Structure 1
Amino acid sequence: MVFLGIIDEKIKIIDHHEQCSWLDNKLGGQPIFNPMFDVNKLIKNDQLQCTECSINMAFILQIYCPVDNSNDDRILYFFSCVNKDCSMKKCRLFRVVTKAKQATKIETKLFDDDDWGGDNESTSDSTFTTEQSSNDVGSTNKYDFEKHSYFIPHYISVIEETDESIDNEKYEKMAKQIANVEENFINEQYEKHYPDVFQNDKDNYKFYKQLHKCPEQIMRYEFAGKPLKSSGRINFSIETCKNCKSKRIFELQLMPSLINVLLNNKMKTIDQQDISIDFETILIYTCGKNCYSTTNEICEEQVFLFKEYCPELNEKFFEFIPVKQQQ
């Protein structure tokens, strides 16, 4: 089952502390860590600096996503270089796994409908109170994460991909056009209408068609699933886990709508001219065994960034849709 991440309300900030928990899915602001996690393990060896330009990477998002049949707390943290002068703009994904202390938790569901798991059962049976969430934020003060804070913090909501309740009015007409076309044209005829804009790339066409169903999606999550490829021309090689040498599996991908969300929510202290974000999709592969090291607790996973092949789609998003011929 595919879950979609969508930007939600802003996170309140009191005395420079975000009023949210490390158990929350969030975008922007500063990363929030489990108090049990030693932050020094993340910042050693300049792991939060771009390996190309050596500038501090921006914290983009984190998601709490424990795997089935495990009580361990598992969070993914994504950082990216946004320096406009950097030619490569490296991005990195860190997986942090800490052993859960069930005695410190309240036995209520962490997520109801907002569950990243693969079925209807919650992958965790606990959450923290608001008071505890505020205290959790203090654990990040071991390191100055403000220098990685480029964007205003927001919660990330989660919906199933089949949920169409969030479609905006401005997309309804376009959705009907797609439905009319598919109803009145056989596949062979239909595909003749879009080769120019998609350059005969069926994967790219399917990518944007799926995106049209929920233009607000900033990420897609399907643990051990299949990515939505942005082009049939992309090639990449998946490495084994550096820690346990197990096979990596697809877990999530970031979608182009994330770019506008970030640029429209930059911190007031960040000059718009100094920021550059450019990708069509970013695929993330993680350890299939969700390995855990008692000496480290953190693993860097594999990230693949792909830029768009059809930039004209930004301005002419739906012009490929043929108009139904009058009888």
Structure 2
Amino acid sequence: MPPIDEDEWSDSDEEAVSEVETSVLLGTPDGVVTAAADLADAAVSRIGGLPAFLPSSEPPFPSSQCKICSRPMELLVQMWCPFENSPMDRALYVWGCAVPECQAKEGCIRAWRGLRYNDAYAAKLEKKLAKQKAKTAPVTPEKPKTNPFALGGVPNSTPFGLGTQIFEETPSATSSPPAQEEDDHETSDSESDSTSEELLTAMATSTLEESVWRSAPSYPPVYLSTCSEYLPAQKKPKLPPGVQIVDSVDDPDKNSKDVSWISEAYENSLDVDQVFERFTKRVGFEGEQCVRYELEGIPLPYSSDSVFKSLFPLPPALPVPVTKAAFTVTPPAKRAYDPSSIPPCPVCKSRRIFECQLMPNLINILRASGDGEEDRNRKKLTDEERRKLVEQELKGSSSSGSGRGMEWGTCLIFSCSKDCALADDGKSVREAWREEVVLIQWGV
């Protein structure tokens, strides 16, 4: 569904208002994974299960160990999420510890990215970029460089599927490709058909047969599908003629997306936890979401804890105006997103950017996936029953029926902005395995 035009918004409370698409992609559960080929394919995103690795030599097993109890942890999610216009295949792996004593301690959730150079796609990408350069160089001035981390630049591409960056699939009804991409599709369809099998072979994961990873604890695997996030459009307030409200915080240049929902500016007074209220309201529009993915976007904080205060710091106090107007009112500045507190990549020293976050419903899905009858009953829930279940999970009032379980509110994952594939000595390598930063918000 395309975003609506602001000019079509109505001041009437009775008139229905269409939904607005945001720049966030939502990961939702989509059935148990049973196919052996999918379980072994690193390009198939999943909740739970055993990892399907990209590097030809599997990573060291301690990568999955909890930093508190040193026990091997279960895989929470594995996501196929290559950067746009990158020759590297890429997958993100997140492990979590369910031991009660380890909860609320740093190191019980760990995230790693696996990279592998894809020769077949690298050659295709080089050819594609050369064609684009040849088209624009003679007659047009140089255009500003596009953000290499923006997912919208490639039609129908998602961080959890192969997308058209590899197979040039037909764009979906909800995507509108740039005009220059259409020409590329016309010239590359036949080439794409001939290389599909080769690319699939290039991305095939290494086997876990006779591996220590095979004995690792795991939840039953569930497919992780994606959809765009849609939110109800905000109605324009009824104001007297000639009066308008201008809020620069809520009006950044975000193309056609509904930016008022993603600016995430927060009041300084947090007597009532408005952060948690905004979280539950936003999540309530799609209660099944287990992952929110917005590369170089803005995380959705769970509560006003120390993590929130580091990512949304207090703004500097404005100087008191010295005027004769005794009743001058200066509106208080709001907290705005500032990721400068996130440590840079220790390998290439580049800044880290927000990539995705795990949502409370993921815990619910991992618990339910171990019980086939419970999973079937969950699918039969009405929208109202599902909404209440999500609310219980958000408030921490649901029961796992077990002495083991995770208790976090959300896990924020920050990755190297350059997605570097470097050895410890700084030299480029064809495969890489690097740990990234996870910030955990535990409760309200």
Q: TM-score, normalised by structure 1?
A: 0.70
Tell me the residue number matched to 2:438.
303
Tell me the residue number matched to 2:415.
286
Change (3 A) 1:138 1:240: closer
Deviation string, structure 1 residues 177-212 (Cα, Å, up to 9, x no partner): xx99x99xxxxxxxxxxxxxx961222111111000
SS at match of 2:365: helix
Change (3 A) 1:257 1:244: same
Structure 1 unaligned spans of 5+: 108-115, 165-178, 184-197, 310-327
Q: Pick from 291, 307, 323: which aligns with 1:219? A: 291
The 1-side partners of 2:288 and 2:117 are apart by: 34
Tell me the residue number matched to 2:118.
100
Tell me the residue number matched to 2:33.
11
Q: Pick from 67, 74, 80: which aligns with 1:58? A: 74
Q: CA deviation at 1:150?
A: 2.3
Change (3 A) 1:47 1:21: closer
Contact 1:241–1:248 (CA under 8 A) maintained in structure 2: yes
Tell me the residue number matched to 1:228.
300
1:37 aligns with 2:61: no
1:238 aligns with 2:348: no
The 2-side partners of 1:26 and 1:49 are apart by: 20
Change (3 A) 1:33 1:267: farther
Contact 1:21–1:32 (CA under 8 A) maintained in structure 2: yes
Letter in 1 for 2:351: K
Contact 1:55–1:83 (CA under 8 A) maintained in structure 2: no
Q: CA deviation at 1:223?
A: 0.4
1:204 aligns with 2:204: no
Tell me the residue number matched to 1:69.
85
Q: CA deviation at 1:94?
A: 0.4
Higher helix proportion, which one?
2
The 1-side partners of 2:290 and 2:50 are apart by: 18
Change (3 A) 1:222 1:100: same
Change (3 A) 1:70 1:136: closer
Contact 2:303–2:441 (CA under 8 A) maintained in structure 1: no
Change (3 A) 1:99 1:31: same
Contact 2:84–2:154 (CA under 8 A) maintained in structure 1: no
The 2-side partners of 1:103 and 1:68 are apart by: 12
- Paired-residue identity, %: 28
1:118 aligns with 2:136: no
Contact 1:28–1:149 (CA under 8 A) maintained in structure 2: no
Q: CA deviation at 1:20?
A: 5.3
SS at match of 2:402: helix
Tell me the residue number matched to 1:82.
98
Q: CA deviation at 1:118?
A: 3.3
Tell me the residue number matched to 1:145.
213
Higher gyration radius (CA): 2
Tell me the residue number matched to 1:28.
48
Structure 2 unaligned spans of 5+: 1-22, 126-149, 158-162, 168-194, 239-269, 311-340, 373-399, 423-428
Letter in 1 for 2:25: F
Tell me the residue number matched to 1:313.
none
Change (3 A) 1:157 1:243: same
Contact 2:56–2:206 (CA under 8 A) maintained in structure 1: no
The 2-side partners of 1:13 and 1:252 are apart by: 27
Q: Pick from 347, 356, 360: which aligns with 1:252? A: 356
Farther off after superposition, 224-233 or 279-288: 224-233
Q: CA deviation at 1:232?
A: 3.0
Letter in 1 for 2:71: I
1:273 aligns with 2:402: yes
Deviation string, structure 1 residues 268-315 (Cα, Å, up to 9, x no partner): 9xx973521111111000001111121860110000111120xxxxxx
SS at match of 2:281: helix
The 1-side partners of 2:370 and 2:196 are apart by: 29
Contact 1:152–1:267 (CA under 8 A) maintained in structure 2: no
Contact 2:114–2:431 (CA under 8 A) maintained in structure 1: no
Letter in 2 for 1:84: P
Deviation string, structure 1 residues 85-143 (Cα, Å, up to 9, x no partner): 43536111001111013179999xxxxxxxx92345236314976xx68x946622352
Q: CA deviation at 1:37?
A: 2.9
Farther off after superposition, 271-280 or 289-298: 271-280
SS at match of 1:297: strand
Tell me the residue number matched to 1:174.
none
The 2-side partners of 1:207 and 1:248 are apart by: 23
Farther off after superposition, 257-266 or 155-164: 155-164
Q: TM-score, normalised by structure 2?
A: 0.53
Farther off after superposition, 250-259 or 79-88: 79-88
Change (3 A) 1:253 1:238: same
Q: CA deviation at 1:252?
A: 0.3
